[in-house]
Structure 1
Amino acid sequence: MTAADTPPALDTSAPDTPPAPDTPPAPDTPVAPDTFSAAPAGWRPALAPAVSLRHDRVRDADLLVLPERVVVLQGSAARILRLCDGDRDLDAIVAELMSRFPGAPVAEDVPAFLGRMRTEGWVR
């Protein structure tokens, strides 16, 4: 195979221009918190009806089980989602996590994470 026959390398770098506002983000693309609509006052996040949170003992991993899809959760995602019981509002979830993890950027990260989950339709 000559250099002319070699397919071009896949460019995995971020594009120079952001996607159009109505284009949903790619699955593993970090999304800035300001790209989400503001959470309604008193929002009490809960998993969507068709979504469940499970722990896989074999893989020692937390999973978000969706219709026809399983998402392996990373980091503190499962801890956050376990607090989304529909009884606590977003402020209570943030306060709980701030007391458990002092110094962590909870006030910024948790609303952004839950906003992303809401955008995906996994949290209502």
Structure 2
Amino acid sequence: MTTSVNPADIFSLARHYRFQWEEAQQCYVLLFPEGMIKLNGGAGEVIKRVDGNKTVSDIVAELQQAFPDAPDIESDILAMLQLALEKAWLEKRN
């Protein structure tokens, strides 16, 4: 089942994942009991803002402000959230 990402959606990290900066990898990672997922810079910036309180619109606005020169950033953010949802890294809160 594929759920689409909507502007009013609120997500949190799935219970069995932990998000952190990994100094040895020089990137953000998702840790889980079986291993680690290395996130590229953009993915890390998106997941870093997923806190169980911000809507997708809030995250998009925050990243547009942080990276004003990034072309078409909104579609990249939505695609990243969609991927994270499909991979079950995130859980929908609302």
TM-score normalised according to structure 1 size: 0.65
| Structure 2: gaps spanning 5 or more residues | none
Q: Which residue of 2 is the match for residue 93 of structure 1?
A: 59
CA RMSD of aligned residues (A): 1.8
Question: Do structure 1's residue 119 and structure 2's residue 93 form an aligned pair?
Answer: no
Name the one with the larger strand percent: 2
| Structure 1: gaps spanning 5 or more residues | 1-21, 23-35
Relative to structure 1, the CA distance from residue 68 to residue 101 in structure 2 (aligned partners, 3 Å threshold; closer, same or farther) is same
SS at match of 1:46: strand
Higher relative contact order (CA 8 A, sep 6+): 2
Q: Aligned pair count? A: 90
Relative to structure 1, the CA distance from residue 41 to residue 97 in structure 2 (aligned partners, 3 Å threshold; closer, same or farther) is closer
TM-score normalised according to structure 2 size: 0.84
The share of aligned pairs that are identical, in percent, is 24
Give CA-to-partner distance per residue, 1:55-76, whole Å, 9 cap, x none: 2222322211123021111122
Relative to structure 1, the CA distance from residue 102 to residue 82 in structure 2 (aligned partners, 3 Å threshold; closer, same or farther) is same
